[in-house]
Amino acid sequence: MTLDQIEWYLKELNTTHSSRLSVTSIGKSIEGRDIWLVHIRPRRCSVGGAVWIEAGIHAREWISPAVVLQMIPLFLEDCSRLETLDIFIVPMANPDGYLYSWTSNRLWRKNRRINSGGCDGVDLNRNWDFKFGLFSSDNPCSEDYRGSAGFSEPETQALKDAMLAVAGTSNLLMVIAFHSYGQYILYPWGWTTEEAPDTQKMIGRGELWATAAKKRYGTVYQVINAGGGLYLASGTTDDWAKGVLQVNYSYTVELRDEGAQGFVLSPDQIKPCSEEVWDGMKILLRAVGPGEHIFL
């Protein structure tokens, strides 16, 4: 979907499903666009806890918002433990970058901050103020330019304020950020190869996700450590969620594919990718929070 189509769809959901869903703006991007938060309320009393889902922080990773948007009606239809959860979804964390990837540069990654010196954009997934600056670039021309300071960007400020608000009022069980590509379930830390709290639980639940996702089309998602298995990076959503919010479960999911098409994934992969991801999400969400012990 184009940015306009995404916004139209969210407005439509807000009017047609207002009994269980609300769409609000949590702040503005650097070019003044709204960053939308979709809250799906529990059907029954809210005993299940809350889950935060982020998509689209990297502009060119178009499969991320596509897959996450397709989850919204599935959450609304679901009649299982999932209906006891508060689901918070930011389907498009970097609207300016996304628009730019449609109009000017398909492989744009960062936001659209104008830096001095001629190279634009800050990598929003290096801008979170946890271990800020350790493994990221201070060069505005780099794809992983961290910005001038932790939370220098309005997009990451809006995201963290909203996440802090959710964590302050409900039992936030899990944070998942959707990216592409590579087919990985990444668990923290990303800033060090040392082990994060709850590592065995994150691996176990990640494997449940991957096994369920594989059943449908045979797609293999590897469960690996972000820092040790992929590469060291700091100032990321997943590390901030683990280090500051101290959620039990924090993940970055790298969606399809393994590199054949990479960021420019063909549209015929949207539906199968969404289906396998939903299979993974259903089992994962049953295996975190109250009742999770039955999965041990």
- Smallest gap from Cβ 64 to Zn ion, in A, equals 7
Q: One-letter amino acid identity for 253?
A: V
Q: Is 7 a catalytic residue?
A: no
186 scored as a contact of ligand 0X9 (CB under 6 A): yes
164-183 footprint of ligand 0X9 as x/- string (CB under 6 A)? ---------------x----
Confirm or reject binding of residue 58 to ligand 0X9 (CB under 6 A).
Answer: yes
Q: Which does 198 bind (CB under 5 to 8 A by kind): ligand 0X9, Zn ion, none?
A: none
Find the binder of ligand 0X9 among 29, 252, 269, 274 (CB under 6 A). Answer: 252
**What, of Zn ion, ligand 0X9, none, does residue 186 touch, CB below 5 to 8 Å by kind?**
ligand 0X9
Which residue's CB atom is positioned nearest to ligand 0X9?
A: 190
| Interface positions with Zn ion (CB under 5 A) | 58, 61, 179
For residues 193 and 239, give the distance between their C-alpha atoms in angstroms, rounded to a whole number. Answer: 12
Shortest distance, position 93 Cβ to Zn ion, whole Å: 10
155 binds ligand 0X9 (CB under 6 A): no
Residue 190 contacts ligand 0X9 per CB under 6 A: yes
Using CA of residue 102, residue 29, residue 270, residue 220, what is the dihedral sign? Answer: positive
Judged by CB under 6 A, which of 226, 241, 270, 273 binds ligand 0X9? Answer: 226
Q: Phi-psi bin for 116: left (phi > 0), alpha (psi -120 to 50), beta?
A: beta
Report the alpha-carbon distance of residue 97 to residue 105 in Å, rounded: 9
Spell out the long-range contacts of 282-285 with Cβ–Cβ below 8 A and sequence spacing 24 or more.
282/78, 282/80, 282/82, 282/212, 283/208, 283/209, 283/211, 283/212, 284/174, 284/205, 284/206, 284/208, 284/209, 284/212, 285/51, 285/81, 285/82, 285/85, 285/174
Q: Which of 94, 101, 125, 136 binds ligand 0X9 (CB under 6 A)?
A: 125
Piece of the chain touching ligand 0X9 by CB under 6 A; list 20-28, 230-238, 278-286, 288-296: 230-238
Q: What is the DSSP string of 218-252?
A: ----EEEEIIIII----S-HHHHIIIII--SEEEE
| Residue placing its CB nearer to ligand 0X9 in the complex, 7 or 254 | 254
Q: Which of 233, 241, 245, 287 binds ligand 0X9 (CB under 6 A)?
A: 233
- 3 state SS of 37: strand
CB nearer ligand 0X9, residue 130 or residue 278: 130
Catalytic residue among 54, 254, 258, 275: 254
Distance of CA 96 to the CA centre of its chain: 17
Window 78-117: residues binding ligand 0X9 (CB under 6 A): none
Q: Is the separation of the CB atoms in 96 and 112 below 8 Å? A: yes
Cis peptide before 129 (omega within 30 of 0): no
Residues serving a catalytic function are 254
Residue numbers of the site for ligand 0X9 (CB under 6 A)? 58, 61, 125, 179, 186, 190, 226, 233, 236, 238-239, 252, 254
